Structure 1
Amino acid sequence: MVCIALVNSLVITPYRVVRNGVVVVDDGKVLDVGSADGVAIPSFCERIDVDGNIVAPGFIDIHLHGGGGADTMDATYEALNTISITHASGGSTAILPSTVSASLDDVVRAIDAVRSAVARGVGGARILGIHIEGPYISVEQKGAHDDRFIREPSDEEMDILLKHVDVVKRVTAAPEVRGCLKLGRLLSSHGVLMSIGHSNAVMDEVLQAVDSGYRHVTHIYSATSMTRRIRAYRYPGVVEAAYLIDDLTVEVIADGKHLPPALVRLVLKNKGLDKVCIVTDAMRAAGLPPGRYKLGTIEAIVDEGVAWLPDRTAFAGSVAKMNTMLRFLVEEVGLTLQDAVKLATVNPAKIIGIDRYKGSITPGKDADIVIMDRNLEILLTMIEGRAVYKSKEWRY
């Protein structure tokens, strides 16, 4: 593999910002990073002048359903490849395709398709495995899930998921649903990230979940309980519990639709920058024009830059890519670009357990890199030193 040196760049590692920066990539890994006067570029490296544009780690999206007209539940290689390519154009270099509540047979088909895609390889963002979102969730907090399939996890289904932990990397469940604490103990002991989501739990139930291996909260404020009044008494919900429990990390759909800037600021103020990541939760219409689409078995209408249920009582996922969410964080929430990049790179890498080799521009890590202009439009997406997306504006 050719050695390249990205020169004349604004590098966000994201632990530091390097002006007039250089990133040296060799054999798919980051060889060196620093300022132009501090990095010795090997003579055999090809120099690429980035023309002052931004060089950052590739984005890691640990919760998305689709894009480019394809959905994880299509359960085909072609669909997963389309999702991968679509989100690479938004700067994603690693993704975790997600299911929706469905029959066991349909969930297993999706798992098998992801396993096949991981083995075969895809043309865009690297597929890390699969995220099982539902069907073990609260009917009261179902969001855009089809309640015909919402159920308790049976011992049979737990055993089947256990057999697929090579590819099942994350499960979202509602801990108050019978069987979900057992599910958490079983799967977390095999390295699966257990996440509280689509849940109507109160504080005590969240504490039990943490004791049972749950470590993350799925799209906080979206289908997660807040302070509940039960027989005159008030109880903290999932949102308040997430703020109070240090062992829980959280994710935010930062598309500017699901949450206003003030709520994103509140999440960051309460949890701290290091325990928050952004996710697209994108459905199949990401990258496509407005219209009618499907999310699993549910009809959705894409309008005003977001997916809606047909009656417009709730959203049905986003249609965003990661770079547009980065722009929202900087322009509307008020984060520095460095902090916004952190929420899209090293933080999700740590949450999903891949930060040893992905998530930052650090010598020895995979050369998963995005180059953006000052408007945060993606010019180039690179995975392990190989370009998987080039915009029309990228001249090399």
Structure 2
Amino acid sequence: MINLFKLILNGELYAPEYLGKSDILMAGEKIALVNNDIGKITGIPEIEEVDATDYFVVPGFIDQHVHIAGGGGEGGPVTRTPEITVSRLTTAGITTVVGLLGADGITRSVAELLAKARALEQEGLSAYIFTGAYEIPTRTLTGSVRSDLVLIDKVLGVGEIAISDHRSSQPTLEMLVKVAAEARIGGLLGKKPGIVHAHIGEGKRGLALLFDLALKTDIPVQQIIPTHVNRIKRLLSDTVELVKLGAFADLTAGIYPENTSPDAVEVCDALAFLMKKGVDIASLTISSDGNGSLPAFDDRGNLTSIRVGSVKVLWEDVRKTVLNETLPLEKALSLITRNPALILGLLPVKGTIAPGSDADIVMLDRDLNIQKVFARGRLMVDRGFPVVRGYFEN
């Protein structure tokens, strides 16, 4: 039996701003009360108490770029990655996930993606999707990006649209603007953010299309959010200028020079560089690109190897930024809680710990290891191990 009421006592609360020692009352799936001395509550039957002494209590993580229904395929059908399991997400501290398609919009479909999002939600998480895939014209469920946004509750935007990549459809500015316009009006009509989540590869054009969109069209620059901008140094340099125009940008965890490219910039170093250049942390997010394929190509574009991305790199990289003092904990947490919640239109329900928000909570030990995870009030992870597994998990 799942107790309706849970009381987290004496935790050091980051909401993600630092609030000091606090108690948190969960009522069903919601946060009912946050106070520095709730103490013993009388008159509530079967309240479950959780001692958070010596723990940091933080919002559940939001990963806005996960191939939940599988990805890959660049090496043929055998290299299609499998669907992700709920415990892989929760043990990484992820309580809210946004699924998307990638290079393979042929054997993968938006319908399949939507079904997987609904499955994860039934298993205890909060899940959303981006309609579309790499190519333009892109894949949809109802016939257009606009109608997907208006008619399908789980659709928050379109992506990942590939730019500056040999696997992209080599879009022109006109093609990209049409997608962004569809996303914008669909977002307005459906009361959604309607963002375009743009995959940026290592191609020669870099962020040129996004600068053209910002400077030559009426589409707000915040409409298109580039991801993977730390994959090579010149992209990161261009990101500084794009953010100064008002854009947001998404860094990808798990990118390291030793396993990606000698010119890659890992999240910790990327953040240090961007802050040194005057970029406001509020303009940045981090995602994992988890469960997608990580292909490597030679100079002629031939596939040389392929791996499956992990969602665990999300917290691993954020944790590293805190341990090496690149960012304090509350600033680092905002990159995977409040910032993406704001961009995705999910704040204040997601991305924070406050009365009325969803009861998505991660408890960290003093070494910043994940110990407990609550998703919508339900304990999913205890002592670092999953206590809730998916339908077909052993």
TM beyond 0.5: yes
Could you tell me whether the CA contact under 8 Å between 2:177 and 2:213 is conserved in 1? no
> How far is 1:48 from its partner?
1.6
| Residue of structure 2 equivalent to 1:8 | 10
Q: Which one-letter code corresponds to 2:314 in the other structure?
A: M
Q: Is the 8 A contact 1:176 1:205 kept in 2?
A: no
CA gap of 1:187–1:243, structure 2 versus 1, over 3 A, is: closer
Counterpart Cα distance in 1 of 2:324 and 2:20: 24
In structure 2, distance between residues paired with 1:9 and 1:176: 52
Contact 1:123/1:388 (CA < 8 Å) preserved in 2?
no
The aligned counterpart of 1:273 is 281
By how many angstroms is 1:242 displaced?
1.7
Residue 130 of structure 1 is matched in structure 2 by 130
How has the CA–CA distance of structure 1 residues 133 and 219 changed in structure 2, closer, same or farther, with 3 Å as cutoff? farther
Q: Specify whether residues 198 and 2 from structure 1 end up closer, same or farther in structure 2 by C-alpha distance, changes over 3 A only.
A: same
Whether the aligned pair in 1 keeps the contact of 2:113 and 2:129 (CA below 8 Å) is yes
1:220 to 217, 229, 241: 229
Q: Distance in 1 between matches of 2:369 and 2:139?
A: 47
Mapped contact 1:95–1:128 kept (Cα < 8 A): yes
Corresponding residue number in structure 2 for 1:58: 60
Query: 1:389 Cα deviation (Å)?
Result: 2.2
Mapped to 1, the partners of 2:55 and 2:363 lie a distance apart of 7
Equivalent pair of 2:71/2:103 in contact (CA under 8 Å): no
Once the two structures are superposed, residues 51-87 of structure 1 have per-residue CA deviations (whole angstroms, 9 ceiling, x without a partner) of 3211110000001225xxx72579xxx954x343211
Q: Following the alignment from structure 1 to structure 2, what is the Cα–Cα distance between the partners of residues 267 and 372?
A: 27
Question: What SS class does the counterpart of residue 231 from structure 2 fall into?
Answer: coil
Superposition RMSD on alpha carbons, in Å? 3.5
Residues of 1 paired with 2:132 and 2:295: CA distance? 20
Partner of 1:102: 104
Paired amino acid for 1:277: T
What TM-score, normalized by structure 2, do the two folds share?
Answer: 0.73
Q: Following TM superposition, by how much is the alpha carbon of 1:386 offset from its aligned partner in structure 2, in angstroms?
A: 0.8
Q: What's the counterpart of residue 180 of structure 2?
A: 184
Aligned residue number for residue 326 of structure 1: 318
Q: Name the SS of the counterpart of 2:327 in structure 1.
A: coil
Within 5 A, what are the aligned runs for 1:141-180? 152-153=136-137, 159-165=143-149, 166=152, 167-170=154-157, 171-173=159-161, 174=163, 176-180=172-176
Task: Give the Å deviation of 1:388.
Answer: 1.9
Instruction: For 1:157 and 1:116, locate their aligned partners in 2 and report how far apart those are by CA, in whole Å.
Output: 12
In structure 2, the residue matched to 1:26 is: 27
Partners of 1:316 and 1:242 lie apart in 2 by 30
The alignment's TM-score, normalised by the length of structure 1, stands at 0.73
Change (3 A) 1:371 1:204: closer
Alignment of 1:185-334 (within 5 A): 185-191=181-187, 192-198=194-200, 200=205, 201-202=207-208, 204-208=211-215, 211-213=218-220, 214-222=223-231, 226=235, 238-246=238-246, 248-255=247-254, 257=256, 258-260=264-266, 261-269=268-276, 270-283=278-291, 295=293, 311=304, 320-332=312-324, 334=326
Q: 1: distance between equivalents of 2:219 and 2:308? A: 29
Structure 1: distance between partners of 2:35 and 2:357: 15
* CA drift at 1:6: 0.5
Taking a change above 3 Å as real, the CA distance of residues 176 and 241 of structure 1, as seen in their structure-2 partners, is: farther
Distance verdict in 2 for CA 1:323–1:204, change over 3 Å:
closer
| Number of residue-to-residue matches in the alignment | 336
Q: Mean Cα displacement is larger for which, 24-33 or 252-261? A: 252-261
Q: CA deviation at 1:180?
A: 1.2
Please report how far the alpha carbon of residue 88 of structure 1 lies from its aligned counterpart in structure 2 after TM superposition: 0.9
Identity %: 18
* 1:28 partner amino acid: E
Contact 2:180 2:224 in 1 (8 A): no
Question: Which one is further off, 321-330 or 40-49?
Answer: 40-49
Q: 1:186 deviation in Å?
A: 0.9
- Superposed displacement of residue 154, structure 1: 7.2
Q: Distance in 2 between matches of 1:178 and 1:169?
A: 22
